[in-house]
Amino acid sequence: MTWGILSTSMLVLMVTGAVLGAALGLTGLILLQFQVGDATSLAVQAVWNTFTDFTLSAVPLFIFLGDILMASGISGRIYNGLTPLFHRFSGKLLHTNIAVCTVFGAVSGSSSSTAAAIGSVGYPELVKRGYDPATVIASLAAGGTLGLLIPPSLSLLIYGATQDVSIGKLFLAGIVPGLLIAGLFSAYIAGLCYFRKDLAPKEDERPSWGEIFTGLRAIWPLPILIFFVLGTIYMGLATTTEAAALGVVAATVLGFVWGDLTLPKLWQSFKTSVLMFGTIAMVLLGTLILAQAISVLGLPKELVDWVAKMGLSRYEVLFAIVLVYLVLGCFFDGISLLLMTLPIAFPLMMSMQFDPIWFGIVVTILMEVGMITPPVGLNLFVLVTISRRKVSLGEASWATVPYWLIMLGVIGLFTAFPEIVTFVPNRFF
């Protein structure tokens, strides 16, 4: 009966075009009202406790930080500084897209912000030089997903805050997987361009080592920003929220001194970040209400008992979870997908004795896959728009399939060897 009300309510509300947060919240209120017995006050308490949590205030700060970096043009300076380094490799400047997205992800925390910031600089530059447009879009879309994994990560922050998992450990756990995926992306690009000479132009001139070092020296302020955002957390000098605030201050100062930030641009960044957080907060509010109803009704325990009766192994359950995320990732953006699934997925995976830190990384990678999966692959839409529709969504989607497969392969690798994810946080935190 309860499962029927849950699925029917969500289906009806979504089909009628209700906002996702409203659909989730109304479903939770229906369950609390009619299945628990006029217990809607529990929803109010759950929302209040989470929205007054000090840790959650880091989310709008990190969004604001990413918007400042975009508005100040710092992404362009990073791109130009790293460009000479990759002229000597097969694929040349396509590697720059991956490298700059990795570096930018270390201070922005957002996948779509990373894709937009680097794409607005990288796409016109590479197409002008003769690179294949669809290949450029694919490398930018895939590289942009690293913003969800490389700390600080909005998805890991929200995962830790809502599921009471150490955010410091989650950030540490994201470093090795993020760098590994970035390396695999670059390896694929090198192999692809080695066999497909038409994808990258033939450039006889190679930058000298002096030009390479000059480019790297030009981005010297970036480590300062990374220290304020991440170094202060790992050294125990600041909490996650305090580090986010320090990052905003440092990004603002660097934006005025090193970048092209102005007061109107700063104000516009503030307004944009408020709107984005408002969207996330709406989904979070609905999720909290639904999660409270699900918890009170004991639905996770029912699901665990059902899995036990079915005799499914922990890896079969994991496989089912992966399939659910892949399907839902076709229709929901990453943060919405995370929030709407965790109330069921997290207790189920914990009952199967999976590590919460490890699961946070796996879920984030699955969200990354969704960011480049049509019809709602947000990174693809952002970059196709930047290309002014010169690359169709179908062309961009097809070009990103290998990156999609690489991330699924990495999940298999982390399942076989979970220590790859858990070693660093267990060793140093």
Most confidently predicted of 111-115, 261-265, 308-312:
261-265
Residues 6+ apart with CB under 8 A from 120: 75, 386
Residue 205: predicted pLDDT: 65
Which of 58, 141, 90, 85 is closest to 393 using CA atoms? Answer: 141
Write the pLDDT tens digit of every residue in 305-342: 676 677 778 898 899 888 888 887 776 767 777 887 88
pLDDT at 91 over 80: no
Most confidently predicted of 81-90, 213-222, 353-362:
353-362
For 293-429, list the strands marked E by DSSP: none
pTM: 0.81
Position 187 confidence tier, pLDDT thresholds 50, 70, 90: very high
Residue 341: predicted pLDDT: 82
Q: What is the mean pLDDT of residues 181-194?
A: 92
Residue 308: predicted pLDDT: 64
Position 4 confidence tier, pLDDT thresholds 50, 70, 90: low
Q: What is the mean pLDDT of residues 260-269?
A: 89
Measured from the Cβ of residue 264, the count of other Cβ atoms closer than 10 Å reads: 9
Position 84 confidence tier, pLDDT thresholds 50, 70, 90: confident
Q: Which tops the pLDDT comparison, 266 or 115?
A: 266
Contact between 371 and 334 under an 8 Å Cβ cutoff? The reply is yes
Q: Which tops the pLDDT comparison, 153 or 365?
A: 365
- 3-class state of residue 197 by DSSP: helix
Provide the percentage of residues in the chain whose pLDDT is more than 70. 88
Position 204 confidence tier, pLDDT thresholds 50, 70, 90: low
Q: What is the mean pLDDT of residues 343-359?
A: 89
What mean pLDDT is reported for the chain? 81
The tokens describing 406, both together, are: 């690489």
The tokens describing 82, both together, are: 């790293």
CB-based burial label for 383 (10 Å; 0-12, 13-18, 19+): buried
Residue 38 CA to residue 421 CA, distance in Å, equals: 44
Position 416 confidence tier, pLDDT thresholds 50, 70, 90: very high
Position 382 confidence tier, pLDDT thresholds 50, 70, 90: confident
pLDDT at 361 over 90: yes
pLDDT at 397 over 70: yes
Element (H, E) at 243: helix 240-257
- CA angle 121/126/132 to nearest 5° reads 130
Q: What is the mean pLDDT of residues 368-390?
A: 77
Residue 3: predicted pLDDT: 59
Q: Which tops the pLDDT comparison, 399 or 63?
A: 399
Position 43 confidence tier, pLDDT thresholds 50, 70, 90: confident
Position 74 confidence tier, pLDDT thresholds 50, 70, 90: confident
Position 67 confidence tier, pLDDT thresholds 50, 70, 90: confident
Contact between 414 and 358 under an 8 Å Cβ cutoff? The reply is yes
